[in-house]
Structure 1
Amino acid sequence: MKEITAKELEKKLIDGEKVSIIDVREDEEVAQGKIPGARHIPLGQLTDHLDEIDKNQHHYMVCRSGGRSGSACSFLSKHGYDVINMAGGMLDWEGEIEK
């Protein structure tokens, strides 16, 4: 599985790169803050939203610590999606958050 650190992903945002970030945490976790511009799709609802995720785009998967987003990456890559897991999850995120 491909991975990126929180710092590397934050640098992409600071540099103005257009990135697709999907946050697979639960509603109550996201309510505490998420990466600006990240799309929230809880892990348990991922299969219901596959048609909304562009297969031609690169996606960064995020959760609290990197475990659930890793599971999401495994699932999505098996279905032909180009995904990278943010290692360490939001616990390692030091950048801006939006609520």
Structure 2
Amino acid sequence: MTQSFAHLDPTTLAQWLSEGRSLKLVDIRDPMSFAQGHIPGSRHLDNTTVAELVDKTPSDTPVVVVCYHGHSSQQAASWLAGQGFDEVYSLDGGFVDWAHRRPEHVER
């Protein structure tokens, strides 16, 4: 059975964040891009930190994956879904779209 993920639009994510919904927001862009700006509450995820995420995050915690434009996050989200997470989302449009639409919700 193929594990799947869902697409998440920026408006819904903004609503979830404003509601204080419990979720893990992970950013898979390169460290320098992440340092220059990211969605508040997100953590940088790469090959060295992904094992800890998988080990320490309850499988019923929604996980939202952010990349540059919403393409590579789909592969990462699919992989995470395969690790047993119940709810995995790929942010449509990625960080670039988020920063364009919501510059006030970017932590620098």
Q: TM-score, normalised by structure 2?
A: 0.79
| Structure 1, unaligned runs of 5 or more | none
* Distance in structure 2 (CA, Å) of the matches to 1:53 and 1:22: 12
Task: Spell out, residue by residue over 1:5-37, the C-alpha distance to the aligned partner (whole angstroms, 9 max, x if none).
Answer: 112101211233233211111101101111101
* Distance in structure 2 (CA, Å) of the matches to 1:52 and 1:16: 20
Task: Kindly report which structure 2 residues correspond to 1:1-99, keeping only aligned pairs within 5 A, or say none.
Answer: 1-42=5-46, 44-45=47-48, 47-49=50-52, 50-81=54-85, 82-93=87-98, 94-95=101-102, 96-99=105-108
Q: TM-score, normalised by structure 1?
A: 0.85
Percentage of matched positions with identical amino acids = 29
Instruction: Kindly indicate which of the two structures has a greater share of residues assigned to strand.
Output: 1
| Structure 2, unaligned runs of 5 or more | none
Aligned residues: 98
* Distance in structure 1 (CA, Å) of the matches to 2:72 and 2:89: 12
Task: Choose 1 or 2 for highest CA Rg.
Answer: 2
Structure 1 SS opposite 2:48: helix
1:47 deviation in Å? 4.6
